[in-house]
Amino acid sequence: MSKVMPMKEAISSHVRSGDFLFIGGYICRSPYAAVHEIIRQGIKELTVTRSNAADDFDLLIGAGCVKRFIATFLSLGLWGLARCYRRSLEKGIPHKVEVEEYTNLSLPMMLMAGSMGMPFVPVRDMVGTDLMNVKSFMGDNKYKFIDSPFDGSPVLLAPALNPDVAIIHVQQADEEGNAQIWGIGGDCKVGANAAKKVIVCCERIVSRETIGKDPSRTIVPSFKVAAVVEEPFGCHPGYTPGFYDVDQSFGFQYQQASNTVEGFQDFLKEWVFDIGDRTEYISHYIDKYGYSQYKNLQAGFDYSYPVSYEY
């Protein structure tokens, strides 16, 4: 059964104010088109999580969509600290986000536990750090200590995470939602499978036969998927391996705009509220920066080394 629908319908049908969202995009394949649609629809009070959060989370925080953030860190990459995130924590603009912080290993392991149906997971890298001394909305449930049943040594346990919805961007998927990626995986697979349902955004929709020819790339099976959105260029200004590169100049412009509340609001108006969908977004980008700059982001094409599946 086809689950293909426009982004507007996918978000309005499956994301509600107050939901707990995993938003994929560990360095690459951040679903900016979906993030923009969440902002356009005025969805609020969200709890959000991902390791290596970036501009997309900063946008959601600055737009007032986020209530709680289960975090490792949030930065603008080459352009330093995330401005909206910092304003939220330091000045309460537009409101102060509640943050529960973990390490960049512990958080993916918590999602892994959720994807495997485990209630918790033992971790080691938080032990002895100040992350153990600072607790927010999770309180005493941020972690627990037990004595190992094998040798009696202390073991730190972190709770499993099971988001209401995962939103991921992938290179390709079929109409039922079997989704495939290549490049950096990060916590995308475990985050998606830990969630109760998944919205898959993809660069292209392919046949079930194409998916079956290279099954090891499939990170999400169709039965987990509630919606499939074909959204080319949907990760811009981030990148999708094999399709387009990161847009460093656009990232710098976002950093400059988000330095002030007024600049950030102007950015939202131009790139989110005055844009109806990703097709309009691409058109506006080309009108403003020229087709050559858009074209220069596109990846060249090359085949991978052939693989034999013979027995």
- Predicted pLDDT of residue 118: 98
Q: Is 191 within a domain?
A: yes
Sheet holding 120-123, edge to edge: 120-123, 154-159, 144-147
Question: What pTM does this model have?
Answer: 0.95
Q: Is 308 within a domain?
A: no
Measured CA to CA, the distance from residue 77 to residue 202 in angstroms comes to: 24
**CA atoms in the 13 A half-sphere facing the CB of 136:** 14
Q: Is 309 within a domain?
A: no
CA distances from 153 to 13, 58, 131, 147, 275 (A): 48, 40, 20, 5, 56
Q: Is 241 within a domain?
A: yes
Measured CA to CA, the distance from residue 30 to residue 56 in angstroms comes to: 7
Ramachandran sector of residue 233 (left: φ over 0; alpha: ψ -120 to 50; beta: rest): left
- Predicted pLDDT of residue 300: 87
Q: Is 265 within a domain?
A: yes
174 pLDDT above the threshold of 90: yes
Please write the tens of the pLDDT for every residue from 41-67: 999 999 999 999 999 999 999 999 999
Tell me the residue range of the domain where 137 lies: 1-302
Which of the four pLDDT bands, split at 50, 70 and 90, describes residue 182?
Answer: very high
- Predicted pLDDT of residue 311: 82
Q: Is 248 within a domain?
A: yes
- The CATH number that applies at residue 251 is 3.40.1080.10
Q: Is 311 within a domain?
A: no
- Predicted pLDDT of residue 306: 82
305 contact partners, CB below 8 Å, separation of at least 6: none
Exposed/middle/buried for residue 301 (C-beta within 10 Å: 0-12, 13-18, 19+): exposed
78 pLDDT above the threshold of 90: no
Q: Which of the two residues, 218 and 308, has the higher pLDDT score?
A: 218
Query: Per the structure block, which two tokens stand in for 144?
Result: 């627990």
Domain count, the chain: 1
- Predicted pLDDT of residue 308: 82
| Contact criterion met (CB below 8 Å) for 54 and 75 | yes
Please write the tens of the pLDDT for every residue from 225-277: 999 999 999 999 999 999 999 999 999 999 999 999 999 999 999 999 999 99
224 pLDDT above the threshold of 90: yes
Please write the tens of the pLDDT for every residue from 115-156: 999 999 999 888 888 999 999 999 999 999 999 999 999 999
CB contact burial 251-275 (16+ within 10 A = b; e otherwise): bebbbebbeeeebbeebbeebbeeb
Match 């090891």 to its residue by tokens.
Answer: 216
Q: Is 310 within a domain?
A: no
Rounded to an integer, the average pLDDT of 11-36 is: 97
- Predicted pLDDT of residue 305: 82
The helix-helix angle for 278-289 and 32-40 (nearest 10°) equals 110
110 pLDDT above the threshold of 90: yes
- Predicted pLDDT of residue 309: 79
